[in-house]
Amino acid sequence: MKNIIVTGASGCIGSEISRALAEDGSRLFLIGHKSMDFLRDLKEKIESCCNSSVYTFSCDLSKEDEVDSLFEEIFKISKGIDILVNNAGISYIGLLQDMKISDWDRVIDTNLRSIFLMSRKVIPSMVANKSGKIINISSIWGSYGASCEVCYSASKGAINSFSKALAKELAPSNIQVNAISFGVIDSKMNNFLNDDEKKVLTEEIPASRFGLPSECGKMVKLISQSPEYLTGQIITLDGGLF
Catalytic residues: 152
| Other beta carbons less than 10 A from residue 163's beta carbon | 25
Residue (of 178, 169, 164) closest to 133 by Cα position: 178
- Dmax (CA) for the chain in angstroms is 53
Q: Torsion angle, CA of 98/103/105/108, rounded to 10 degrees?
A: -100
Phi, psi of 27 (to 5 degrees): -100, 110
Residue 113: DSSP 8-state: I
d(CA 163, CA 110): 16
d(CA 17, CA 135): 11
Q: Within 13 Å and on the Cβ side, how many CA atoms surround 69?
A: 10
